[in-house]
Amino acid sequence: MRILALVPGGIGDQILFFPTLDDLRATYPDAQIDVVVEPRAKGAYRISKSVNDTILFDFKSRNSLSDWSNLLGILRDREYDVAIALGQRWGTGFLLWLSGIDTRIGYASGAAAETFFTKTVPLNSDQYAAAMYHDLLKGLGLDRPLPEVAITVPAKDLEWSDAERKRLGLQDGRYVIIHPGASQLSQQKGIDKIYPAENWQKIIQDFQQKQPDLPIVLIKGEEDNAIVAAIAALCPGVKVTAPENIGQLVSMVAGASLMLCTDSAPMHVAIAAQTFTLALFGSTDPEKLLPKSDRVTAIKSPTGKMADITPQMVLDRVWSG
């Protein structure tokens, strides 16, 4: 069997789709399972245990007829038996219909794309996003409880993190890791996900006062240079790590006793790594992005603005356990 999933969105969206892919793999262990993803999200599949191949397509770009034709050619050449689509755009359903894939599953959302699916499932967007994605398996007659997000990390990334912890003077389980940034795309869209450096400073200083021997480590990604540099300048003594891929990021986060972060891809990484996570939310809804777990806590801004989450609100949650 050959199965295709079309998964638009960033790395966080891909990680939220991992439980669905894992159930597909468990049900069809010998299947070829491929995903169509945006170039910015391809890296997520470095830590997936269930996907054979990734096909790149920028869903959010102004794609030409030639771009769509090239993707259609790939789908036809690979002769998939089943296609699962997360997107609700008319063009996605039409593409799958043209591909000739026998079983095409999507949401019964009332959108025009629904016409081109052979099976649809109700769209329940008022739930954890991973559960909403997992509902699509009902189109294959699979109705199971949502499994936890599971990941697999390449050995060389584990080796890198061991060396990185040694370089920084860290011990497993004896450091707090902070990811203060947000994706460039969310910033371009004007979505408020950046927590001010001055607020992070107050939180870090409180940690340093109460737990002076507990290292604080900042994660710096390609899009986080400015906010990490600002915090490091305000907080002497903090350490900075710059993982080069998601496997290295997972390895560093998994070794921490606590992850403090904003609503971002590293938040989903921390949840998958089963690290205790405290995430800050502005206008987005944590109920739709976080699982029910005693390892995960959210603080939602009372106004929808990140800056209105006071450092004391964060510290009260941290020290209360």
Please compute Rg for the chain using Cα positions: 21
User: Do 155-319 and 2-140 fall under one CATH topology?
Assistant: yes
Residue 62 confidence (pLDDT):
81
Residue 252 confidence (pLDDT):
97
Cα end-to-end span (Å), the chain: 48
Residue type for 171, please? Q
- Decide which of 171 and 71 is more confident: 71
Distance CA 21, CA 3 (A): 10
Out of 3.60.10.10, 3.40.30.10, 2.60.40.420, 3.40.50.2000, the CATH code matching 155-319 is 3.40.50.2000
Q: What is the pTM of this model?
A: 0.92
Long-range pairs, 107-113, Cβ under 8 A, ≥24: 107/136, 113/85, 113/87, 113/88, 113/89
Lowest model confidence (mean pLDDT) among 86-90, 223-227, 242-246, 279-283: 86-90
Which residue do the tokens 């049900």 mark? 27
Cβ–Cβ under 8 Å, residues 264 and 181: yes
**pLDDT-derived band at 299, boundaries 50, 70, 90:** very high
Residue 211 confidence (pLDDT):
95
Residue 70 confidence (pLDDT):
95
* For the chain, domain boundaries: 2-140, 155-319
3-state secondary structure the chain: CEEEEECCCCHHHHHHHHHHHHHHHHHCCCCEEEEEECHHHHHHHHHCCCCCEEEECCCCCCCCHHHHHHHHHHHHHHCCCEEEECCCCHHHHHHHHHHCCCEEEEEECCCHHHHHCCEEEECCCCCCHHHHHHHHHHHHCCCCCCCCCCCCCCHHHHHHHHHHHHHHCCCCCCCEEEECCCCHHHHHCCCCCCCCHHHHHHHHHHHHHHCCCCCEEEECCCCCHHHHHHHHHHCCCCEEECCCCHHHHHHHHHCCCEEEEECCHHHHHHHHCCCCEEEEECCCCHHHHCCCCCCEEEEECCCCCHHHCCHHHHHHHHHCC
Mean model confidence pLDDT for the chain: 93
Residue 223 confidence (pLDDT):
83
Separation in Å, CA 249 to CA 224, 242, 244, 245:
14, 8, 8, 6
Distance CA 229, CA 78 (A): 46
156-210 residue pLDDT tens: 999 999 999 999 999 888 999 999 976 565 555 556 688 999 999 999 999 999 9
Residue 110 confidence (pLDDT):
72
Residue 172 confidence (pLDDT):
81
Which residue do the tokens 């921490």 mark? 256
- Decide which of 91 and 157 is more confident: 157
Q: Which two tokens stand for residue 156?
A: 């060389």
103-137 residue pLDDT tens: 999 999 776 667 899 999 999 999 999 999 999 99
Residue 202 confidence (pLDDT):
98
Mean pLDDT of 284-298: 95
Q: Give yes or no for residue 154 having a pLDDT over 90.
A: yes
Cβ-based neighbours of 316, under 8 Å, separated by 6 or more: none
Distance CA 254, CA 54 (A): 25
Distance CA 132, CA 304 (A): 24
Out of 3.40.50.2000, 3.30.300.30, 3.40.50.150, 3.40.190.10, the CATH code matching 2-140 is 3.40.50.2000
Q: What are residue 31's phi and psi, to 5 degrees?
A: -75, 155
Residue 184 confidence (pLDDT):
60
200-243 residue pLDDT tens: 999 999 999 999 999 999 999 888 889 999 999 999 999 999 99
Q: Which two tokens stand for residue 177?
A: 């890791």
Neighbours of 60 (CB within 10 A): 11
Percent of the chain scored above 70 by pLDDT?
95
Residue 270 confidence (pLDDT):
96
